[in-house]
Amino acid sequence: MKKRVGILISGRGSNMMALVAAARAADYPAEIAAVISSAPDAAGLAWAQARGLPARAIDHRAYPTREAFDWAVDAALTDAGVELVALAGFMRIQSVGFVARWEGRQLNIHPSLLPLFKGLHPHRQALDAGVKVSGCTVHFLTADTDSGPIVAQAAVPVLDGDTPESLAARVLAAEHRLYPYALALVASGRARVEGGRVRIDAVGHPDGCLLSPQP
């Protein structure tokens, strides 16, 4: 049985597009049961609706409190039979109750190698720190921002002359490969949280390493 996934977006939605594309494969272990945008004018929402996906806006500005908005989202996810939530550029902080309700069933992607560079402007933070490798992380959501158990990470080189924009573009291309893979690991039951860490069954381990800069 494919796991029913709800994707929450707020903007461009390129990670949602990568998940939608992956889920078209017959042997992918998840199907997209709902796309919910917190912004009615999000480009990603128009894209999803144009393709006939079950996509709708829940405008956060129409709700008096964070909790009221979250419970509207929760109701929509529940109505759609969603079992796993994937945040994809969803730019709303969630209430403690919502996070607790979906704990262990909600994934986020963050464009840094966590636990480095949490929060806003991770690419600017990475450049300021002078790291030679950055990347992206898919993790389970917990109450502490960008701190939940890590499912998978992808690394990219940081190049001399990079700007936050050029680094973001390189990381984003990695995000589009990582998120469908990480969601598949969770949806298939191969990735499980145990003792605050994610254990992964039966995946190969890379025997190489990324040298950055290249020799």
CB of 92 to ligand GAR, least distance (A): 11
Is 11 a binding residue for ligand GAR by CB under 6 A? The answer is yes
x/- mask, ligand GAR, residues 39-78, rule CB under 6 A, reads -----x----------------------------------
Q: CB neighbours of 30 closer than 8 A, spacing ≥ 6?
A: 2, 3, 4, 5, 23, 84, 183, 184, 187
Structure-block tokens of residue 27:
């042997």
Helix (H) or strand (E) holding 177: helix 164-187
User: In this structure, what are the phi and psi dihedrals at residue 9, rounded to the nearest 5 degrees?
Assistant: -130, 170
Residue 195: CB minimum distance to ligand GAR, A: 25
Closest CB to ligand GAR among 119 and 213?
Answer: 119
For residue 60, what is the DSSP state? Answer: G
Q: Which stretch binds ligand GAR (CB under 6 A): 12-20, 23-31, 150-158, 191-199?
A: 12-20
State in angstroms the smallest separation of the CB of 69 from ligand GAR.
Answer: 18
Min dist. Cβ of residue 198 to ligand GAR (A):
18
123 counts as catalytic? no
Q: Which of 110, 123, 139, 176 is catalytic?
A: 110
Q: How far apart are CA 192 and CA 21, in angstroms?
A: 24
Residue with tokens 């902080």: 93
Q: Write each residue from 83 to 122 as x if it is in contact with ligand GAR (CB under 6 A), else as -, in one continuous string.
A: -----xx-------------------xxx-----------
143 with 99: CB under 8 angstroms? yes
Taking CB under 6 A as the criterion, the residue among 47, 175, 185, 187 binding ligand GAR is: 175
Distance, in Å, from the CA atom of 117 to the CA atom of 123, rounded to the nearest integer, reads 8
| CA 164 – CA 122 distance, rounded (Å) | 9
Rounded to the nearest whole angstrom, what is the least distance from the CB of residue 202 to ligand GAR in the complex?
A: 27
- DSSP code of residue 2: P
> Rule CB under 6 A: which residues touch ligand GAR?
9, 11-15, 44, 88-89, 109-111, 172, 175
